[in-house]
Amino acid sequence: MTEGGNEGASSYIAPADSPRVAVLWMIFGSVCFGTMNALVKWTSFHADVWMIIMVRSAVIAFAVAIFAGSQGLSLRVNDKRKMLLRCVVGLTAMILYFTALGRIPIGQAVTLQYTAPLFVALLSGRVIRERVEPVVALLVGTAFVGIALIVSPDLSSIDSDAMLALGSGFFAAMAYMYVRELRNTDSASSVVFWFAAFSVAGSIFQALPDIVGLEWETLAALIGIGIGAGGGQVGITMAYHRANAAWVSAFSYLTVIVATFYGLTLFNETLDVSDWIGGILIVGSGIALVFMAPSSDS
């Protein structure tokens, strides 16, 4: 018999760690997020940040609710405090990032926002008490150098708008660490759904007055953002549920490669020598981390 009213928490069984499964989820999530970035960049010329956040989050919440209902999954929140903190820092990161993405080049914005994995690797030992091997921190740092070489080699030119993207990276790192802690009490579906629902509630009043004036192309792009973000959220959340936060965070750098590809094909960005060197550093670090996959006990 369950004691002390802990029936809700005890009914959820945390998944076993599986680093290679986590990598596959991270790849999926990174492709989805990279596509979302390109759509946000285009849509920012036709809709404001609040509209993007509201439609994006509504699509995710609706999809997860349908999926959970069809599978008989519970969306009950067992750790309300950590879930609220995850939602607050996640929404803050999204507001900062979408604002920056509409003001600065997509490559620079993605680079600065994707300092989040570096923050995770540097802070996870202190915040969620996971062991961070020095070589992991070194490889994550190497990957970050590669990203900087690809999309923003001259960091001295960063302006106040770019600092918004850097701030979003910090808050995103905090969100990822709360996701990792929530694996012990709440399902991935619950984490994704309640973050989406919270984001709708946090943006609906600012966005509603403008919704009637949306053109169908913009609405289609907004829905696409929601689909891409939903896939990304599921992929990232599942990845953090299945492996050490500091280790798996390095693979989210793949989003930058995807976004750079979109920049090349859709936004007329060009690749030079530093881009190729940066790509080698990122891919090389990723391969090294794959072969260093920690055991489920790590």
**To which H or E segment does residue 111 belong?**
helix 106-113
In a domain, 150, yes or no: yes
In a domain, 11, yes or no: no
Q: Structure tokens of 279?
A: 């790509």
Reduce the DSSP state of residue 293 to 3 states and report it. coil
In a domain, 6, yes or no: no
In a domain, 20, yes or no: yes
194-230 residues labelled b (16+ CB within 10 A) or e (exposed): bbbbbbbebbeeebeeeeeebeeebbebbebbbbbbb
Length of the chain: 298
In a domain, 230, yes or no: yes
pLDDT tens for the chain, 298 residues: list them.
Answer: 444 444 444 455 556 667 778 888 888 988 898 899 999 999 988 899 999 999 999 998 999 899 899 988 889 999 999 999 999 999 999 999 999 888 877 877 787 777 776 677 666 655 555 565 677 778 777 877 877 776 666 665 556 777 788 889 889 889 988 888 898 898 888 998 999 999 999 999 999 888 888 889 999 999 999 899 878 878 887 887 777 766 676 677 788 788 878 888 888 866 667 767 876 787 677 667 655 655 444 4
Q: Measuring CA to CA, which residue among 231, 223, 256, 251 is closest to residue 29?
A: 231
In a domain, 235, yes or no: yes
Q: What is the DSSP letter of 6?
A: -
Alpha-carbon Rg for the chain in angstroms: 19
In a domain, 2, yes or no: no
Q: Which domain holds residue 185?
A: 16-291
For the chain, the domain total comes to 1
In a domain, 104, yes or no: yes
